[in-house]
Amino acid sequence: MLERQSTVGSAPIGSFVALGDSFTEGLGDEAPDGALLGWADRLADLLARRSPVPFRYANLAVRGRLIDEILEEQVPQVAELTPDLVSFCAGGNDILRLGSSVDRIAERFEEAVVELSSHAKTVLVFTGFDPRGTPVLRRLRGKIATYTAHIHAIADRHGCLVVDLWSMKALQHPRAWSDDRLHLSSEGHRQVALRAAGVLGLRPTRSAPATHALQGRVRQPQRLDDLRWAKEHFLPWLGQHLLGRASDEVLEPKRPQLLPL
């Protein structure tokens, strides 16, 4: 349970626009009817229930998008929507590409933040995850940590609120992740939504269910499981997203208009 009205400072949150890639689209958090939920939908629901004014929500995130694509396709729409709150999480797909420059990605991230800050009352940004428990990706831990430091610095310069995913112990537990270990599970998305709500000032009246259970010792995956994961999930994903083998599927935002829930 969360208490207090959904406000940032003294201003109520009456509209929320989410930008980004698969993390914000909600991959890994499927409803019984197959629709994607995700932390952003869950946060929007929490905000709507506590908003003292009519609440509207849009989710422009599209899986696989690079930061340049998000700046080109999604960021300009915020100027038309002028929301009270905009969330921005981008750069993860870029960091995973061979030869990518963290400093260059951070520069583009800051360009987006400057633009978003001129059209939204509050900008909420997200750091990278700590990949120490994920095979292969843990080799990029230093690169992701550097990007996380950049995001904190950018947020400090421009007055953004920060959801620090790196520090979330709950996300170090296998149950927080889908079988592909690349996208959060429903529980992982729920934990992120609660953390984001806390950053926005909505505090839980008691400990969230399952939080403590997810903070126990993480069992290290066995080598055979790692090899199976790499064959079934990581290598196909690598081929599609990192080596430029584009899917024939035409992807559009799941909630392109700022509408009531």
Distance of alpha carbon 23 from alpha carbon 108, whole angstroms: 19
* Span 15-38, pLDDT tens digits: 999 999 999 999 999 988 989 999
Which helix (H) or strand (E) covers residue 87, if one does? Answer: strand 85-88
Instruction: Tell me the per-residue pLDDT of 201-248, one tens digit each, with 9 for 90 and over.
Output: 987 644 344 444 444 444 444 555 555 545 544 555 555 555 444 455
Mean pLDDT of 107-114: 98
Concatenate the DSSP letters of all residues of 104-153 into one string.
HHHHHHHHHHHHHHTT-SEEEEE-----TTSTTGGGGHHHHHHHHHHHHH
- DSSP bridge pairs for 163: 126
Q: How many domains does the chain have?
A: 1
Rounded distance between C-alpha atoms, residue 22 and residue 141, angstroms = 20
What is this structure's pTM?
A: 0.84
Output the CA torsion sign for 70, 75, 78, 83.
positive
Q: Do the Cβ atoms of 202 and 46 come closer than 8 Å?
A: yes
Domain region containing 82: 2-260
- Distance, in Å, from the CA atom of 183 to the CA atom of 230, rounded to the nearest integer, reads 14
Count helices and strands in the chain by DSSP H and E runs: 10, 10
Q: Is the pLDDT of residue 85 over 90?
A: yes
CB atoms within 10 A of CB 223: 9
143: domain CATH number is 3.40.50.1110
Beta bridge partners of 88: 19, 125
| Structural Rg of the chain based on CA atoms | 18
